[in-house]
Amino acid sequence: MLTDQEWTAIVECDAAYDGQFYYGVRTTGIFCRPSCKSRTPKREHVHAYASTAEALTDGLRPCKRCRPDGLRQPDEEWAASIAKAIRTHYADKITLSMLAEQQHVSPFHMHRTFKRICGVTPAAYLLLTRIEAAKQLLRSSVRTIGEIGEQVGLPSPAHFATVFQRAEGCTPTQYRLAHNNQRAEGPHE
């Protein structure tokens, strides 16, 4: 349900319509004021709401940028949702600017707030998550190093080896050998 007039207001970020309606974007699960400066969504994904209560009832979250509910989401909660998005999507070719876009914030704001709350940058957190997943696969699967890199979102073998070595102090191959040997020899205790 979206009129041409409402759609035009969204495309033009027309603040005159703020308070008259809100729009939710099905693909991001976020709702905004018409004036929001976030990227214009595809029309077929947009739904108009008469009130914030309706949008919330429909399961949408208020946009962090235009704050249609007039409330700020606590930074802790927000950082936790970023961390969760990273853990869910680390295997995809996600970038931090894509994450920031999804969350309707600037990459700079995301970097700064996430680091303040979590102690590491979103980039470092993404890399750590990928390395942990790679270690798990190196220990428990027979996939090649290249396949594992690909599977954890580090498709360039050279890049995978470099970041792995930097984090773990050994190459993926050495890591696998060390852990497979332990298992092959069986328990000595």
Q: CA–CA distance from 41 to each of 31, 111, 145 (Å)?
A: 11, 24, 38
Does the annotation count 63 as an active-site position?
A: no
Q: How far apart are the C-alpha atoms of 64 and 57, rounded to whole Å?
A: 18
Collapsing DSSP to helix, strand or coil, 97 comes out as: helix
Residues between 6 and 35 that touch Zn ion (CB under 5 A): 32
Start-to-end Cα distance in the chain = 68
Q: How far apart are the C-alpha atoms of 43 and 110, rounded to whole Å?
A: 27
Nearer to Zn ion, 32 or 96 (CB): 32
Q: How far is the CB of 175 from Zn ion (least distance, A)?
A: 44
Nearer to Zn ion, 55 or 148 (CB): 55
Residues between 54 and 93 that touch Zn ion (CB under 5 A): 63, 65-66
Place of tokens 């993926």: 172
Nearer to Zn ion, 38 or 103 (CB): 38
Contacts with Zn ion: how many residues (CB under 5 A)?
6
Q: Are 56 and 26 in contact (CB under 8 A)?
A: no
Q: How far apart are the C-alpha atoms of 22 and 44, rounded to whole Å?
A: 15
Q: How far is the CB of 25 from Zn ion (least distance, A)?
A: 9
Q: Which of 9, 10, 25, 36 binds Zn ion (CB under 5 A)?
A: 36
Q: How far is the CB of 156 from Zn ion (least distance, A)?
A: 35
Residue in 13, 32, 66, 118 annotated catalytic = 32
Residues designated catalytic: 32
Which residues are near Zn ion by CB under 5 A? 32, 36, 38, 63, 65-66
